[in-house]
């Protein structure tokens, strides 16, 4: 049945949809044990309904740069499934964005949001606009133009976008400003807002911190171990990577790598977070080469100077690896290198950063592998806390958000690990996450009817 569904999906989707088909294939193959357990999934055609988005919205975004030249970009919102609550998921501004990438991210989002146990559905959106090299005014003008189109499709009880690659607090502020101007509605239509007007404390930190809270709980339960004194490799140098590094250091780990799309840093003395933030914090995008110039003993490797199909950031021996940059950034060759260097666990901070062949290497060799839909769900969980605070006009303090985030990440770990055991896939966190998320989602879809 699964092969037929996948063949049909390939037939009805275009060449651009490679990552989407990859994500669906991974999920469907995981679900075999639960699909065998009950005929209701077939009766209600749950799989067939689950892999088609409710709607894909595409619009034109026209804006003027600082020299009054006209630019046109594509804008998208993929509203995938709202069985569990309002559509929820980030906006990505990056030159690589197209409808296929967003469909993959929106599909992953419905599973991630289900795993949190919170009342949120799944969506994703964005644009092929590249914020790199643009002035603050240009970014503001683009965000305003984007929202002039998007506003008609979203709402606090309909669809609540947040940030993702290229969209941080500053961009969300501009988007919110325009939404408010058009609709005169001061409600929680976006999450990740600046704290001054409706944002939640800890939203910027939440994804990275959540990744580490998940890891701490998992290491305690699975190995009776902790992060104290462990060497860790992290990729990326954006929002998720910076906060993952910060929390790993808080728990006593030594983080020795980070990267961006141009190259990577190896720092045997442990990443100097203050220095890294001065180059990459608050939306800054200075080259990591500057890190090497300012930090004795660190090494910078340019991406093109490293062999094809492998990345310098994964070449260092480490106990734990945290891919936190982008999809398909950890290849088969990287997995073999990590394994040969003794890695014990790989925890995804980004969405689908590990290629399927690399996941297989880890799983076959006893490396604990955690998919992003489980480990990076802290961001969307705190986004939902922001929606709750906006709806009740409350402000939660830092400790409350932090405690609830930690609780949610520990619950996700338990849910994933127990489900894997229950279906005979002990320590297979990919299957555990997919099955646990599917159970909750399919239950809602059946109860709500076709």
> Which residues are part of the catalytic machinery?
124
Distance CA 303, CA 398 (A): 38
Beta carbon of residue 283, minimum distance to ligand NDP (angstroms, whole number): 8
Q: Which long-range contacts (CB under 8 A, 24 or more apart) does 362-367 make?
A: 362/335, 363/428, 363/430, 365/339, 367/338, 367/339, 367/343
Using the rule CB under 6 A, give the single segment among 28-36, 345-353, 361-369, 421-429 that binds ligand NDP: 345-353
Beta carbon of residue 301, minimum distance to ligand NDP (angstroms, whole number): 12
- Compare residues 226 and 337 and give the one whose CB is closer to ligand NDP: 337
Distance CA 188, CA 395 (A): 13
Here the tokens at position 283 are 């939306």
Beta carbon of residue 252, minimum distance to ligand NDP (angstroms, whole number): 23
By CB under 6 A, residue 236 contacts ligand NDP:
yes
By CB under 6 A, residue 350 contacts ligand NDP:
yes
Selected from 114, 191, 207, 298, the binder of ligand NDP by CB under 6 A is 207
By CB under 6 A, residue 442 contacts ligand NDP:
no
By CB under 6 A, residue 323 contacts ligand NDP:
no
Phi, psi of 193 (to 5 degrees): -70, 155
Q: Are 174 and 159 in contact (CB under 8 A)?
A: no
Beta carbon of residue 11, minimum distance to ligand NDP (angstroms, whole number): 28
Distance CA 426, CA 87 (A): 32
Selected from 163, 173, 198, 199, the binder of ligand NDP by CB under 6 A is 163
Q: Are 396 and 201 in contact (CB under 8 A)?
A: yes
Q: Nearest-CB residue to ligand NDP? A: 238
Q: State the helix-helix crossing angle for 356-364 and 18-30, rounded to 10 degrees.
A: 30
Selected from 51, 139, 240, 367, the binder of ligand NDP by CB under 6 A is 240
Closest to 208 in 3D by CA, of 378, 91, 408, 399: 378
By CB under 6 A, residue 257 contacts ligand NDP:
no
Using the rule CB under 6 A, give the single segment among 64-72, 80-88, 271-279, 321-329 that binds ligand NDP: 321-329
User: How many chain residues are in contact with ligand NDP, going by CB under 6 A?
Assistant: 25
Here the tokens at position 207 are 């994804």
Selected from 78, 106, 212, 237, the binder of ligand NDP by CB under 6 A is 237
- For 41-86, strand residue ranges (E) read 55-64, 70-81
DSSP-derived secondary structure for 244-299: HHHHHHHTT-EEEEEE-SSEEEE-TT---HHHHHHHHGGG----THHHHHHSTT-E
Using the rule CB under 6 A, give the single segment among 62-70, 80-88, 212-220, 258-266 that binds ligand NDP: 258-266
Using the rule CB under 6 A, give the single segment among 62-70, 215-223, 324-332, 432-440 that binds ligand NDP: 324-332
By CB under 6 A, residue 238 contacts ligand NDP:
yes
Binding interface with ligand NDP (CB under 6 A): 163-166, 207, 236-241, 259-262, 285, 324-326, 329, 349-351, 376, 379
């Amino acid at each position: 049945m699964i092969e037929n569904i996948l063949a049909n999906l390939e037939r009805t989707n275009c060449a651009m949809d490679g990552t989407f088909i990859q994500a669906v294939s991974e999920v469907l193959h995981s679900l075999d044990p639960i699909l065998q357990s009950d005929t209701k999934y077939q009766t209600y055609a749950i799989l067939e309904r689950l892999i088609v988005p409710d709607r894909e919205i595409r619009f034109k975004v026209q804006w003027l740069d600082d020299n009054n030249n006209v630019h046109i970009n594509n804008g998208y919102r993929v509203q995938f499934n709202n069985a569990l609550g309002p559509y929820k998921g980030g906006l990505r501004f990056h030159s690589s964005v197209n409808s296929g990438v967003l469909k993959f991210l929106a599909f992953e989002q419905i599973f991630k949001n289900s795993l949190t146990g919170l009342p949120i559905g799944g969506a994703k959106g964005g644009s092929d606009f590249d914020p790199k090299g643009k002035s603050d005014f240009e970014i503001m003008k683009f965000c305003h133009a984007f929202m002039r189109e998007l506003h008609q499709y979203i709402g606090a009880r309909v669809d609540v976008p947040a940030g993702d690659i290229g969209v941080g607090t500053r961009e969300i502020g501009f988007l919110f400003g325009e939404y408010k101007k058009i609709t005169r509605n001061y409600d929680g239509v976006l999450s990740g807002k600046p704290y001054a007007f409706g944002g939640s404390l800890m939203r910027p930190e939440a994804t990275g911190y959540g990744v580490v809270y998940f890891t701490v709980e998992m290491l305690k339960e699975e190995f009776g171990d902790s992060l104290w004194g462990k060497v860790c490799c992290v990729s990326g140098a954006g929002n998720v990577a910076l906060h993952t590094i910060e929390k790993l250091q808080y728990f006593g780990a030594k983080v020795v790598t980070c990267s961006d799309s141009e190259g990577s840093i190896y720092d045997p003395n442990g990443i100097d977070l203050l220095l890294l933030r001065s180059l990459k914090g608050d939306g800054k995008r200075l080259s990591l080469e500057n890190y090497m110039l300012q930090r004795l003993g660190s090494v910078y490797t340019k991406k093109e100077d490293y062999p094809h199909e492998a990345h310098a950031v994964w070449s260092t021996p480490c106990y734990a690896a945290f891919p936190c940059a982008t999809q398909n950034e950890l290849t088969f060759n990287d997995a073999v290198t990590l394994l040969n260097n003794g890695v014990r666990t790989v925890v995804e901070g980004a969405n689908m950063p590990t290629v399927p062949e690399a996941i297989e290497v880890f799983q076959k060799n006893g490396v604990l592998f955690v998919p992003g839909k489980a480990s990076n769900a802290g961001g969307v969980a705190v986004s939902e806390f922001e929606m709750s605070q906006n709806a009740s006009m409350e402000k939660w303090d830092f400790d409350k958000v932090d405690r609830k985030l930690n609780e949610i990440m520990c619950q996700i770990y338990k849910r994933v690990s127990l489900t894997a055991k229950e279906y005979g896939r002990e320590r297979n966190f990919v299957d555990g996450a997919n099955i646990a998320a599917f159970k909750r989602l399919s239950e809602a879809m059946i109860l709500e009817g076709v």
